[in-house]
Amino acid sequence: MAIDPVLLTQELVRCPSVTPVDAGAQAVMTAALEQMNFTVHRLIFGTETPNPVHNFFAHLSRQGSTVLNSAAHSSPLADSSINGEEGAAKIGPRLCFMGHTDVVPTGRLSDWTTPPFDAAIEGDRLIGRGSADMKGANAAFVAAVSRFLLRYPDWNGTISLAITGDEEGVAAHGTVKIVEWMRDHDHIPDAALVGEPSNPQFMGQIVRVGRRGSWCGKLIVEGKQGHSAYPELADNPAHKIVTLLHQLLQQKFDNGTEFFKPSDVVVTSIDIGNEATNVIPARAQALINIRFNDHWTGPSLEQHVRSIFDETKIPYELYGWCNAESFMTNDAMWRKLVADAVQEVSQIRPVFDTGGGTSDARFIAPYCPVVEYGLINATIHQINECVFLNDLETLTQTYFVILKKFFSVGD
């Protein structure tokens, strides 16, 4: 019997897996997968920390109706991806679904119309923390696989899932570590599908084919403290840091690229720590975040920021770090396959997009083509996060069609 995506979503939401706590959410998924003969590798990383992270990698390989244990395969997409391996046994393509079972905190419980982990159904909606981001997509993919295996028992290739409990947190012991494990154990797929909620308003709207990078900087300007009545005896760092930030914000970094909007500069904090109105402070600092497109890398962007500051001749200190590099999936075959499946089910041709924040897709992007397609993101991280029941069915059917097209089976 095929798995019901609504019931599985409810079961997952009822696990209060606020990052990095697992609360049984991964066991719900692995139990369903093991019933379908998936081999499950439970991967716990960060055991040296107070909060080890639970992850898993599950895979099922078949040649015709025969379940295989080997993970060494090649793929029709191998010629257009960087992970094709000469000499590998040619039994079919490898597709990996990637997702997370952790969720953000609920906020004030009294603000919810129903308890956030009850997974209550009200009318045409399922309400609960993580229902849209992204336990609903996890359930939809597992349900789609169950339909696929029942309908097409003689497919060739490998289906895998890489699921983390550390996407909403610091992401240090989650997907980045799973991908390293996959690489070391020859489980890198020919293509990856991330189930992040990609659609702003309705299903079929957007397939994410890349993401902007995120660079952060801490800007510090030193001065000399003094009395505000005698500014000539002090050196005011507040005035200088305003000049530096103004110079940065006046710059147009780029005009964007084919799939990316222009890079954005945002000042997220200006901190002087001075509550006295008659004291010139000794130090001022600011935090900067730049979401950048594929015109830049983290190092080249930081070099450009420094050159802008240098033009002012104002002494400063800058500590920069890159949370994520930008990436773009240039594999037209994989992009088209997913877009065709979305259009077939939703009757809408999706737009290729690279908006939003960072995602775990960045960790697999160096190894294979990756796109993101999931539910509607209008309520994610909000009070009364929810998913429409029809959307769960639409996503399940879309994933089913993606499986059909990827493994070249069908009526």
- CA-to-CA distance for 181 and 188, rounded, in angstroms? 9
The helix or strand, by DSSP H or E, that contains position 393, with its residue range, turns out to be: helix 389-406
Distance CA 70, CA 88 (A): 10
Buried b (16+ CB within 10 A) or exposed e, 375-388: bbbebbeebbbbbb
Q: Tell me the C-alpha distance between 176 and 45, whole Å.
A: 10
Tally Cβ neighbours within 10 Å of residue 366.
Answer: 13
Residue 84 CB neighbour total at 10 angstroms? 14
Q: Please report, as a single letter, which amino acid is at residue 244.
A: L
- Show which residues are catalytic: 102, 167
Where do we find the tokens 């010629």?
Answer: 79
Question: What pairing do the DSSP bridges indicate for beta strands 66-68 and 191-194?
Answer: unpaired
